[in-house]
């Protein structure tokens, strides 16, 4: 549901020169070598050789998420994340986990609005097992799908929803907020986990059809990263995945988000002790020209102890126990959020006044040179830190491929943050964060008077 600067470790892990200001551009280019192949059935295979440790990571992305669902049929992408661990024709449940654990490997998966991913990581000699298991559930899971499995995992997902939404303090925000930001026909207008009604209504045939449409090799990409050889990986992939037939061509929706016409306020009374304020604005999709500047604006506001809102609200005035801000650029659209939890005795209008005043000041004057440099350095340090792990490299390679069509976009990613100017930050704050927004107040039961008010003038 986001720092030190370990340059030497990152250089060793990547096996390439790390970009440093002032060095020759060619010598400073960050390069993560990848060998790309596409099987006859459309499956994309990417291999990154990294011999720094005798481990391997297999990272599979299916290009389907809750944003590919339809009204009345929500929650299928996340339901499938669970069903994929329920066994396949040649590895019946619980053989998937049992065999990987016996080999010293681990595995997991996750679902977002835009993709579903699965990974295995462990000793390099376990690679044939990992690929065989992934191929078996891609090509031979449907024959084992039955009502008992669907009903079991449907109940598991419903219980997960209860734990994460209905029975989680502040949890229902994530059920209401999508509907406040997007109209009912937009695929981001429901939460990734789906609705209870849609989960209950899903039939066995509905689930099978979802698998036929989206869980096909031509809608998937696999990254293998670690102590491997690209030729050996390709031979294994051909052996295990080559016989799986291509699925139907997929037409993806690309609806535009309807702009908010004005501020929308919602008050939720919950079993909480401290009120919490949520601001959300429409912004831009991931990798759009203003995406990086919005990320850096979030850091200037709350990314460090000396960031504007954190310093003022948490440490100086002590009106908030926590405050965070982030830009969430997805495939179809993006949102910028500010979340602040009040300290005992503080109401949400008090937090509003500080947040609104600081956003207005940033929109008018922009960040200082020192603030911008700190934000850019912190991003780059965190970015390089992520390159120490083959698993995180594998996931980023898959993300870049899906977002840009090119897996090795590491230098391009860093460059877009380096190119942001103070005026860019000022402009994006003024453009996106001073307009209509969704405002949610979560307050203790019976304490609606603590909720946020209509827009306040700083």
The verdict on 223 and 286 lying in the same domain is: no
Phi and psi, residue 228, nearest 5°: -140, 170
The verdict on 285 and 231 lying in the same domain is: no
At which of 206, 241, 276 does a domain end?
241
Whether residue 253 is contained in a domain is answered as no
Provide the pairing of β-strand 334-342 with 438-444: unpaired
Whether residue 322 is contained in a domain is answered as yes
The verdict on 309 and 382 lying in the same domain is: yes
- For residues 134 and 59, what is the distance between their CA atoms, to the nearest angstrom? 10
The verdict on 322 and 236 lying in the same domain is: no
- For residues 192 and 378, what is the distance between their CA atoms, to the nearest angstrom? 30
The verdict on 99 and 236 lying in the same domain is: yes
C-alpha distances out from residue 38 to 51, 62, 63, 174, 259, Å: 24, 15, 16, 38, 39
pLDDT, tens digit (0-9, with 9 covering 90-100), for 298-345: 999 999 999 999 999 999 999 999 999 999 999 999 999 999 999 999
The verdict on 313 and 229 lying in the same domain is: no
The verdict on 300 and 414 lying in the same domain is: yes
Alpha helices in 366-421 (DSSP H): 369-385, 390-404, 410-418
- For residues 174 and 160, what is the distance between their CA atoms, to the nearest angstrom? 14
The verdict on 381 and 320 lying in the same domain is: yes
For helices 410-418 and 291-302, the axis angle rounded to 10 degrees is: 60
At which of 179, 209, 241 does a domain end?
241
Whether residue 456 is contained in a domain is answered as no
Angle at 24 between CA 401 and CA 395, to 5 degrees: 20
Structure tokens at 148: 């008992």
The verdict on 348 and 412 lying in the same domain is: yes
Whether residue 23 is contained in a domain is answered as no
Whether residue 9 is contained in a domain is answered as no
3-state DSSP helix/strand/coil percent for the chain, to nearest 5? 45, 20, 35
C-alpha distances out from residue 437 to 69, 123, 278, 371, Å: 25, 48, 10, 26
Residues 6 or more apart from 455 whose CB is under 8 A from it? 263, 356
Q: How far apart are the first and last CA of the chain?
A: 31
Whether residue 224 is contained in a domain is answered as yes
The verdict on 187 and 280 lying in the same domain is: no
Task: Note every long-range contact of 183-189, with CB atoms under 8 Å and residues 24 or more positions apart, other chains counting.
Answer: 183/258, 184/71, 185/71, 185/255, 186/255, 186/257, 186/258, 186/332, 187/66, 187/67, 187/68, 187/69, 187/70, 187/113, 187/253, 187/255, 187/332, 188/67, 188/113, 188/257, 188/330, 188/332, 188/333
Whether residue 321 is contained in a domain is answered as yes
- For residues 316 and 300, what is the distance between their CA atoms, to the nearest angstrom? 17
Hunting for tokens 């390159």 — which residue is that? 387
The separation between CA 450 and the C-alpha centre of its own chain, rounded to angstroms, equals: 32
Asked if residues 387 and 6 have their Cβ atoms less than 8 Å apart, the reply is: no
The verdict on 166 and 288 lying in the same domain is: no
Q: What is the pLDDT along the chain (458 residues), one digit of tens a residue?
A: 333 333 323 333 344 333 444 334 444 689 999 999 999 999 999 999 999 999 999 999 999 999 999 999 999 999 999 999 999 999 999 999 999 999 999 999 999 999 999 999 999 999 999 999 999 999 999 999 999 999 999 999 999 999 999 999 999 999 999 999 999 999 999 999 999 999 999 899 999 999 999 999 999 999 999 999 999 999 999 999 999 999 999 988 789 999 999 999 999 999 999 999 999 999 999 999 999 999 999 999 999 999 999 999 999 999 999 999 999 999 999 999 999 999 999 999 999 999 999 999 999 999 999 999 999 999 999 999 999 999 999 999 999 999 999 999 999 999 999 999 999 999 999 999 999 999 999 999 999 999 999 985 54
The separation between CA 364 and the C-alpha centre of its own chain, rounded to angstroms, equals: 31
Q: What is the pTM for the complete model shown? A: 0.92
Number of structural domains in the chain: 2
DSSP calls for 155-221 = HHHHHHHIIIIITSTTTTHHHHHHHHHS-TTSTTSS-TT--HHHHHH--HHHHHHHHHHHSSGGGEE
Query: What residues make up the domain containing 155?
Result: 31-241
At which of 207, 241, 275 does a domain end?
241
Whether residue 7 is contained in a domain is answered as no
Looking at residue 213, which CATH number applies to its domain? 3.30.830.10
Residues 6 or more apart from 5 whose CB is under 8 A from it? 377, 380, 381, 384
The verdict on 236 and 312 lying in the same domain is: no
């Amino acid at each position: 549901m986001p720092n030190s600067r370990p340059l030497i470790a990152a250089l060793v892990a990547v096996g390439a020169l790390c970009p440093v200001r002032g060095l020759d551009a060619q010598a400073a280019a960050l390069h993560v070598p990848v060998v790309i192949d596409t099987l006859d059935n459309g499956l994309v295979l990417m291999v990154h050789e990294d011999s720094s440790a005798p481990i391997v990571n297999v990272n599979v992305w299916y290009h389907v998420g809750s944003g590919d669902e339809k009204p009345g049929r929500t929650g299928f992408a996340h339901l499938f994340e669970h069903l994929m661990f329920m066994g396949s024709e040649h590895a019946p449940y619980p053989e998937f986990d049992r065999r990987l654990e016996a080999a010293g490997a681990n595995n997991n998966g996750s679902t977002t609005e835009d993709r579903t991913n699965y990974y295995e990581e462990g000793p390099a000699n376990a690679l044939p097992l990992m690929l065989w298991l992934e191929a078996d559930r891609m090509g031979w899971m449907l024959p084992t799908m039955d009502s008992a499995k669907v009903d079991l995992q449907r109940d598991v997902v419903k219980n997960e929803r209860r734990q994460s939404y209905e029975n989680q303090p502040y949890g229902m925000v994530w059920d209401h907020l999508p509907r406040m930001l997007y109209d009912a026909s937009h695929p981001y207008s429901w939460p990734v986990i789906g609705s209870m009604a849609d989960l209950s209504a899903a039939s066995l045939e509905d689930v099978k059809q979802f698998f036929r449409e989206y869980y096909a090799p031509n809608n998937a990409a696999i990254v293998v990263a670690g102590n491997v050889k690209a030729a050996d990986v390709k031979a294994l992939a051909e052996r295990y995945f080559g016989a799986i037939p291509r699925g139907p061509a997929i037409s993806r929706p690309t609806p535009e988000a309807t702009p908010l016409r004005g501020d929308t306020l919602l008050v939720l009374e919950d079993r909480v002790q401290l009120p919490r304020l949520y601001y959300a604005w429409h912004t831009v999709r991931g990798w759009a020209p203003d995406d990086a500047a919005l990320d850096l604006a979030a850091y200037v506001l709350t990314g460090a102890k000396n960031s504007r809102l954190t310093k003022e609200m948490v440490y100086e005035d002590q009106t908030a126990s926590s405050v965070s801000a982030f830009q969430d650029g997805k495939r179809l659209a993006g949102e910028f959020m500010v979340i602040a939890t009040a300290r005992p005795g503080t109401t949400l209008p008090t937090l509003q006044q500080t947040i609104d005043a600081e956003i207005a000041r940033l929109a008018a004057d922009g960040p200082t040179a020192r603030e911008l440099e700190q934000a850019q350095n912190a991003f780059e340090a965190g970015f390089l830190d992520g390159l120490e792990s083959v698993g995180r490299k594998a996931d980023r390679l898959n993300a870049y491929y899906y977002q840009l069509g090119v897996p090795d976009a590491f230098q391009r990613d860093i460059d877009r943050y380096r190119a942001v100017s103070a005026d860019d930050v000022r402009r994006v704050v003024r453009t996106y964060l001073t307009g209509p927004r969704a405002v949610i107040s979560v307050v203790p039961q019976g304490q609606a008077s603590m909720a946020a008010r209509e827009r306040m003038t700083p």
